[in-house]
Amino acid sequence: MIYFDNNATTQVLPPVREAMMPYLDDAYGNPNSVHQAGNRTRVAVERARGQLARALGVTSSEIVFTGCGSEADNQAVIGGLLARRGEGKNLVVSAVEHPAVGATAAWAAKQFGFELRTAPFKTTGDAVDPTPFLDLIDNNTVLVSVMAVSNETGVIMPLAEIFAKARAVGALTHTDAVQAFGKIPLSPKKLGVDLLSLTAHKFHGPKGVGILYIRRGVKIEPLLHGGSQENARRAGTENVANIVGMGVAAEIAAAHDPADIRTLRDDFEARILDRFGDRISINFRNLPRSPGCSSVRFGSEDGNLLLIKLDRKGLCVSTGAACSSGSLKPSAVLMAAGLSEEAARATLRISFSHLNTPEEVAQAVDILGRVYR
């Protein structure tokens, strides 16, 4: 099997798995208990918190563990709006957000009486145009949420310009950075962002754990109540083994140079363009992109059918976000990014990690050549 669906999830690295194992075995104490068994796991949780803080260049007290990236996004959007009720009237998100932000923002706006403003995806030659966002942000904006890197296209969003305007009007700023960590430079302090979401399984950690960075001094309402864990910002006993794994994975990802992933992606794109010519196209190739993601349109083919055929030959790719993969509908994100319905249906997402090899790239192109005739 050749696995080129790393935007959906990544393989857990051996050092990560090894670090987790003691907390699935004899180190089973509740980290909130005051005896020695609890203290052992509490120390492990705080060590992981420090690892993540150092990887992001923030303080440990600004890291809140969550159950996943979607929970972190929900807490940022819902908790941010609840904390700002009475202070403004609208929130701004991009049209290409992951549903964990986009759908949550739509629900929360209706539930709490805010106006949802959705900024269209526009480009100016070789960059994403921040103007649509800037035009929607005003003195009544309470929250601006824009993803750092698109999970479906790999396109890098112009956060600095957008968040500068948001800060100027006093709005909370949030970025879903799930696809950014370990792939592009990511500094909450430099971005001036108040809230930032991550999840471990996108950078070779375990599934079922994430974080929400909450800048010191920022107040948001918790989603989960009934306990004082995470400094009363998220109730529930911490998932110690997964948290430990996330800490180790973050250290490894932060130290890794993504140049090798970019080399794989560029080699793959060069090979398929050479093999298929104008029968295919690379979506968004002229825009700033994450090094590990390629969005490829295969003529007018049915992407779902092509995916199935490739899978039978041992090549794992996707038609878009894993949360909506297999849907008969074309990707709403791709269409919001400017693709026609036909082009969106014919697009596959191929995503790489440093565990992939040049040999796999060559084999994948050969499989594509045999399937896509």
Provide the Cα torsion 111, 177, 159, 121; round to 10°: -70
Q: Exposed, middle or buried, 189 (CB in 10 Å: 0-12/13-18/19+)?
A: exposed
Q: Distance (Å, rounded) from C-alpha 302 to C-alpha 287?
A: 25
Among residues 68, 293, 316, 323, the one annotated as catalytic is 323
118 Cβ contact partners less than 8 Å away, ≥ 6 residues apart? 92, 93, 94, 95, 102
Q: Distance (Å, rounded) from C-alpha 131 to C-alpha 153?
A: 20
* Dihedral sign from CA coordinates of 24, 27, 33, 39: negative
Contact 239, 209 (CB under 8 A): yes
Structure token digits, residue 146: 């824009």
18 Cβ contact partners less than 8 Å away, ≥ 6 residues apart? none
68 catalytic? Reply is no
Rg of the chain in Å (alpha carbons) = 21
Contact 336, 320 (CB under 8 A): no
Residue type, 64: V
- Catalytic residue positions, numbered: 323
